[in-house]
Amino acid sequence: MLDVYSPRELRSSSWLYCLALVYAVSVIFVLSSSSRPSDNFDDESVTYVHDKYVCVQFMFTVHMICTWSTFLMGLFSLLSRLFEFSVFFHKWLGKGYVMAMVWTCATSGLIRNEGLPSGTIISFAWVLGGLTFGWLFMIVARDKRMHGALMFTSWFGIAGRIFNYNLHKDFKCYTYPVFKPFFASEYSNQSFALLSSRDPHYDSLPWAHREVWGWGVPLLLGPLFGFLLLSLCFRMAS
């Protein structure tokens, strides 16, 4: 049997429905109002090659907001265990830490210039490993001590890096990809060749020339309303 929510329960969570709607409309508006960048070799605000975004300048600020959210959610989650009156908030702050971490990782994919040093990769391995196994120790083994130790290890990796950056740091997209020599000959007579902003195979992609309305919107509405319709059918059948 599917859960049936009362009108009162639905009204109490109406803000969440509104928030989800605002998020979806905002994404559609931003993407539909932007165009595919043309030659951007001298543009410090974006790196766009083969119809793919490599670096977007304003995403650095978004990334830092997500990073600070991760840091603060983790900090408050840890502190909430110190006082009896705040224990209730611990699980919600923990879930907020996980969600903020997801967005931090996602936005980092759009601020690439030089890649990651090995030390940073090791640090991220402990951040994500501590998060993963900290959750498993709590759910599977019910070991609060290991849960706390691993989650602290995860948070410590974020805390150690966050103060190395400034929210208003003058971030720029200052690098541009080139083909390695063994591929360059396919695109140029030189020993290396810059990737063009346009993908020669773009027209064969399923979202070509219709990224938002022909791809993004159906990808959202299809599964969403398909599942709601399916759940309604199950409810009526039961």
Helices (H), 116-192: 118-136, 144-162, 181-184
pLDDT confidence tier of residue 188, bands split at 50, 70 and 90: low
Residue 87 in any domain: the answer is: yes
Residue 119 in any domain: the answer is: yes
Residue 24, burial from CB neighbour count under 10 angstroms (0-12, 13-18, 19+):
middle
At residue 16, the pLDDT reads 87
Structurally, how many domains does the chain consist of?
1
For tokens 């003058």, name the residue.
170
For tokens 């049997």, name the residue.
1
Residue 1 in any domain: the answer is: no
Distance of alpha carbon 37 from alpha carbon 198, whole angstroms: 9
Distance of alpha carbon 83 from alpha carbon 130, whole angstroms: 24
Residue 118 has pLDDT above 50, yes or no: yes
Q: For a pLDDT cut of 90, what percent of the chain falls above it? A: 65
Residue 192 has pLDDT above 80, yes or no: no
Residue 92's domain spans which residues?
58-171
At residue 66, the pLDDT reads 94
At residue 2, the pLDDT reads 46
Residue 152 in any domain: the answer is: yes
Residue 30 in any domain: the answer is: no
Residue 106 has pLDDT above 70, yes or no: yes
Strand boundaries in the chain, DSSP class E = 46-49, 52-56, 178-179, 193-194
Residue 205 in any domain: the answer is: no
